[in-house]
Amino acid sequence: MTQLTPVLSAHWDEADSFTIEGYQRHGGYKALEKALSMQPDEVIQLVKDSGLRGRGGAGFPTGMKWGFIPQGDNKEHYLVVNADESEPGTCKDMPLLMANPHVLIEGMIIASYAIRANYAFVYVRGEVAHVVRRVQKAIEDAYKAGLLGKNILGKGFDLELVIHIGAGAYICGEETALLDSLEGFRGQPRLRPPFPAIAGLYARPTVVNNVESIASVPAIIANGVEWFQAMGTEKSKGFTLYSLSGHVTNPGQFEAPLGITLRELLELAGGVRAGHQIKFWTPGGSSTPLFTAEHLDVPLDYEGVAAAGSMLGTKALQIFDETTCVVRAALRWSEFYKHESCGKCTPCREGTWWLVQMLHDLEAGKGTEEDLTKLLDLCDNIAGRSFCALADGAVAPIISSLKYFRDEYLAHQRNGGCPFDPIASTTFATVGA
């Protein structure tokens, strides 16, 4: 059975893991020294060779993204790290930044060096004040240690690192909306092309990477391509953080090679809540189509999940047992997307407004089977029609829940309301649990 491969999370259990001393005790910033002694293009090539893919959801090869930055163009380049972790169920970047902010800083310096950026930004969601304080302190300490600022480690490379606090909008996790927000505008996705690699922040070539992607870089530099490729599957190399939440005995972050299955992860996490069976789960947050018990052995890598009809996403595994009403879950998620739709495009803005009303009625047992057809048709008019991927995510739980649990929707209509006891599904429930 696949074992855990703690790299990023290796020392989270140490009392001072988040300090510069704690980080350096385990070889922190050694990879930086190594990277700065390489040519920037060698660093890009090494990351390309490692097969590291974006950990924010889309799985785009990180080294390739860096390689898109035009070199010798006499323009400022920027590195922007997307720490606007807001996907329901996703909880990997925040604990990582809480427990080990320096691994991100080290990764950012290396990445900036590779793409020839002298300014780098971390865009952290605004709600996590404690994380922000830790990152701020870490940046301060890194400046004091000569790891940021002018002439880093005496190698002639300069980097200013800026932390920016978001104002609490899910859409700002979309990279172009994030850039608008970072520039001080209202966060709404930008028209592409131009892509950020050509005209990103302040219309300059910009790399936008997820926290975990960048944080994975120092280990790759330090241990080499072979070490990294020894983990994971053919096209999904390396280790990653899986976040288990919901009806699971020991929820939390599990760092394992890509391609591990939920069955294996559940064993590591002590299984589904005692006395219950899994009913459905999300492989990568609420924007990825639901899976059920039949998918427990799907390898959780980019290809495996896609082949099974969903997406690896942020590897946010939300586990729901049989006490959970899927209609209710879909409604709650829809309410989230309605609240977070930025309003720019019609399908998302109006569609999520309508979906919530329909799901409310369906949960209350109103309507007929025809309404399910209408609901699916509405989803079809939203998915793939909107400006960015937010709306695709919004309809994912609805379409997939109807695919696997159509009868449960109908049961609401037969029952004249929800047949479930909502209290039984709470994790603190005693009655019915």
Partner 1 sequence: MSTEQLTEVEMITVVIDGFEVTVPKGTLVIRAAEKLGIQIPRFCDHPLLSPAGACRQCLVDIEINGRAFPKPQASCTIPVEPGMIVKTQLTSPVADKAQKGVMELLLINHPLDCPVCDKGGECPLQNQAMSNGRPTSRYEGVKRTYDKPVAISSQVLLDRERCVLCARCTRFSEEIAGDPFITLNERGALQQVGIYEDKPFESYFSGNTVQICPVGALTGTSYRFRARPFDLVSVDSACEHCASGCAMRTDIRRGKTLRRLAGDDASVNAEWNCDKGRWAFKYLITRERVATPMVRGSDGELHEASWPEALAAAAAGLKSKRAGVLVGGRTTREDAYGYSKFARVSLGTNDIDFRARPHSDEETSFLSSIALGLSTTYSDLDKADHVVLVEFEPEEESPIVFLRLYKQVRKRAIHISTTAPRISRGNHKLTAVRTSLSSVSGLTAKSVIILGERAAETGGTISAAVALAASTGAKLAWIPRRAGERGALESGAFPSLLPGGRPVSDASARVDVASAWGVSHLPQNPGRSTSEILQGLNTPDGLEAVVIGGVDPADISADALSQLLNTFVVSLEVSHSAITAIADVILPVAAVVEKQGTFVDWQGHARGFEKAIDDAQTRSDVRILSMLADELGAPINLPSVSATAREIQSLGTWDGARAAFEKTSAGSAPRTEGTTAMLHSWRLLLDLGTLQEGEANLAGTARTARAHISASRAAALGVKNDDRVRVSSERGSLTLPAVIVDISDDCVWVPRNSLNSQVIPALGFSSGVVTVVKA
Which residues of this protein are in contact with partner 1, per CB under 8 A? 169, 171, 186, 191, 338-347, 349-354, 357-358, 374, 378, 380-382, 384-387
Structure token pair of residue 360: 């409310």
Enter the tokens of residue 244: 């288990």
| Residue 22 or 126 with smaller CB distance to partner 1 | 126
Q: Is 239 helix (H, G, I), strand (E, B) or coil?
A: strand
DSSP annotation of 407 reads H
Query: How far is the C-alpha of 243 from the C-alpha of 253, rounded, in Å?
Result: 4
Dist. CA 1–CA 59, nearest whole Å: 25
CB 70, min distance to partner 1, A: 21
> DSSP label at 2?
P
Q: Which is nearer to partner 1, 115 or 355 (CB)?
A: 355
Closest CA to 378 of 341, 414, 346, 409: 346
Q: Which residues contact 20 (CB under 8 A, 6 or more apart)?
A: 28, 102, 138, 141, 142, 145
Give 323 or 386: the residue with its C-beta nearer to partner 1. Answer: 386
Cα–Cα dist 182/123, whole Å: 7
**Closest to partner 1 by CB, 48 or 186:** 186
Q: How far is the CB of 364 from partner 1 (least distance, A)?
A: 13
Nearest distance from C-beta of residue 373 to partner 1, angstroms: 10
Q: Among residues 203 and 296, whose Cβ is nearest to partner 1?
A: 203
Burial class (CB in 10 A: 0-12, 13-18, 19+), 107: buried
Decide: 81 and 97 in contact? Cβ < 8 Å.
no
Nearest distance, CB of residue 381 and partner 1, angstroms:
3
Radius of gyration of the chain (CA): 22
- Rounded to whole angstroms, the Cα distance separating 296 from 123 reads 34
Nearer to partner 1, 136 or 381 (CB): 381
CB of 261 to partner 1, least distance (A): 28
Q: Select 221 or 390, whichever has its Cβ closest to partner 1.
A: 390
CB nearer to partner 1: pick between 204 and 349: 349
Residue 335 C-beta: closest distance to partner 1, Å: 11
Task: Supply the angle between the helices 369-382 and 346-363 in degrees, to the nearest 10.
Answer: 160
DSSP-derived secondary structure for 53-74: B-TTSS--BHHHHHHTSPSSS-
Residue whose CB is less far from partner 1, 320 or 337: 337
Helical residues (DSSP H) of 72-216, grouped into ranges: 93-99, 101-115, 129-144, 175-182, 196-199, 211-215
Minimal distance in Å, beta carbon 186 to partner 1? 7
- Residue with Cβ nearer partner 1 (224 or 367): 367
Instruction: Identify which of residues 163 and 372 has a Cβ nearer to partner 1 in the complex.
Output: 372
State the nearest-atom distance from the C-beta of 350 to partner 1, in Å. Answer: 4
Query: What distance in Å separates the CA atoms of residue 393 and residue 90, rounded to the nearest whole number?
Result: 14
Q: How far is the CB of 349 from partner 1 (least distance, A)?
A: 5
8 A C-beta contact, residue 286 and residue 88: yes
The DSSP letter of residue 203 is G
Least separation in angstroms between CB 362 and partner 1: 12
State the Cα–Cα distance between residues 430 and 105, nearest whole angstrom: 44
- d(CA 209, CA 225) in angstroms, rounded, equals 20
Q: Is the link from the previous residue into 289 a cis peptide, with omega within 30 of 0? A: no
In the complex, minimum distance from the CB of residue 374 to partner 1, in angstroms, rounded to a whole number = 6
Q: What tokens appear for 9 in the block?
A: 């999370």
